[in-house]
Amino acid sequence: MNQDISHAAGISPINGAVGTDARPVAVKAVMIDLDGTLLDTAPDLALAANLMLKELGRRELPLETIRSYIGKGIRRLVARALTASPDGEPGEELLARAMPIYERHYAAVLYASTRPYPGVVEGLEVLRAAGFHLACITNKAEAFTLPLLRAAGLIDYFGIVLSGDSLPKRKPDPMPLLHACRLFGIAPHEMVLIGDSLNDTQAARAAGCHVFCVPYGYNEGRDVRELDCDAFVPSISAAAALLRGQ
């Protein structure tokens, strides 16, 4: 299904969305990030980090501190938690010892407190009913991605799920987005990525895809409004309404 969207800078067809691109958009497929976009995974990511720190005899960290460490994958999250710093670089030996400990704890608490954000299920229903192809594109390992999507009841919405280890490269590299385009048989400009971080906007721009940003995600604690995107949307349901031209 081909949907035309026209919105000028600062003006949007729906309440709460802020457009930054005046060009019409013809979208046939929608890619959506996982952590911080579909699911609020921060509580369980933080719980696993603190269980790891406790096992290693290190000081536990507040949820909000760990939340600000999310956005560059689990390995970077673990490195930051070990050093209690966003720029921290633990020794390779410590990091190598900590990673399997973190992954073991995270697997055990994967969906303890994680839940879809408001508007996610409603938005996916609208997008599916409107005939858009749907893909979930995440940097999370497949061993965590698929169980999370199943536990949340979201996996059946997506024709394609690409995890951080599905391909040789991941976001911010455009490879996963371009691969999804090939699988769907469409051009990059016919697809939009919805995400919450710099990884998402950089990948979309490099691929030649459109990109919408939600404000409630992680982005390493930085303001999402600093990102280069075509629209800021308050929820997936709002993005769905925008894509349908409402």
Active site residues: 33
Residues near 167 by beta carbon (within 8 Å), at least 6 away in sequence: 175, 176, 179
Mind spelling out the 3-state secondary structure of the chain?
A: CCEEECCCCCCCCCCCCEECCCCCEEECEEEECCECCCEECHHHHHHHHHHHHHHCCCCCCCHHHHHCCCCCCHHHHHHHHHHCCCCCCCCHHHHHHHHHHHHHHHHHCCCCCCEECCCHHHHHHHHHHCCCEEEEECCCCHHHHHHHHHHCCCHHHCCEEECCCCCCCCCCCCHHHHHHHHHHCCCHHHEEEEECCHHHHHHHHHHCCEEEECCCCCHHHCCHHHCCCCEECCCHHHHHHHHCCC
Residue 29 main-chain phi, psi, to 5 deg: -140, 150
**Amino acid identity, residue 69?**
Y
Question: Do 209 and 189 form a contact (C-beta atoms < 8 A)?
Answer: yes
Cα separation of 70 and 199, whole Å? 12
Structure tokens at 166: 């599905």
